Structure formats: C-alpha cells, structure tokens
Amino acid sequence: MAEVKCAFVVQKPQYKGETSRLAITHAISYQTVEILLEDDDTVTPALCFIGEGVLGLEKGQQAAKDVYGISSTESHIMNSCLVDLEVLVCKEDMEKYGISEDSMPDAEEMGADVKVQVVPMADIKKRIDESRHVLVF
C-alpha cells in the first residue's frame, strides 16, 4: 500500500479570482479520488497557503458572500478541517502581512479535530517536495 501525497498550493488572494476557493474544493475531493491510484493506494492531500494566498484566510471576511453571493473561503477552510484535511499556512507570509495566528478559521465548535497549522515556509516546502502531484493556484 502506497501513500500518494498531493499538494495544493494557493499563492493568490481570494479577491483576485475564484481559483483559491477551487483549490480548497479540489483538495477536499481528493481524499476520495481513485483516478491516481493503484490497488490499496491512498491519497493524502494538503492545502498550502503562501504569499498573497494567506490574505483571504482571516475569520469574518464577508465580501464574497455579501458582494458576490458565493460561499466564503472561511467556510471552505472549516469544511477542510471537518474532513481532516491538512491545511498549512506560511508563518513568514502571515507576519509579512500582519495577520495573527488567532485570526485563522477553525471548526472546533463544529467538532473538527484538525486545525489550520501556521508553519515555517521550510515545512511547506518539505511537504511540496514529498508530493507526487503539486497543483498551484
């Protein structure tokens, strides 16, 4: 049995297009994908937010819902936590843009065991290097 690691790297802010939300949706769906698998393989996706991609992660942002009538990145991240998806956010980029770790969304009140992890870029790079498939958004 082999583990197929996939990394979904979000580097653009959510207000510049919908690709970052699509990255989250695809990462969630990859937990059940079979197209890349051989018998007994498992897929382990990770969402990695770097650069300007960290800008849309703060709790309470309502522009998407109020202005465009679409679901927020926050709700997608909460769903990611509920399905035990690994979500990594670059610590250096958060510091660069003045975003605190406390402002990251979580789904603890909904019963999620997994939380968004704020980690050094070196950890994200390691996860990307370990991945068989890397998709950049």
**Region 100-120: what's the mean pLDDT?**
86
Higher-confidence residue of 108 and 137: namely 137
User: Which of 43, 40, 37, 50 lies closest to 6 in space, CA to CA?
Assistant: 43
**Predicted confidence (pLDDT) per residue in 38-47, tens digit:** 667 778 889 9
Q: What is the value of pTM for the model shown?
A: 0.84
> Hey, is 42 helix, strand or coil?
strand
Higher-confidence residue of 25 and 18: namely 25
pLDDT (0 to 100) of residue 125: 98
* Domains of the chain, first to last: 3-136 (3.40.1260.10)
φ, ψ (nearest 5 deg) of residue 53: -60, -20
**Contact call for residues 121 and 50 (beta carbons, < 8 A):** yes
pLDDT (0 to 100) of residue 85: 86
**Region 3-15: what's the mean pLDDT?**
85
CA angle at 88 for the pair 84 and 91, rounded to the nearest 5°: 150
**Predicted confidence (pLDDT) per residue in 48-72, tens digit:** 999 999 988 877 766 555 666 666 7
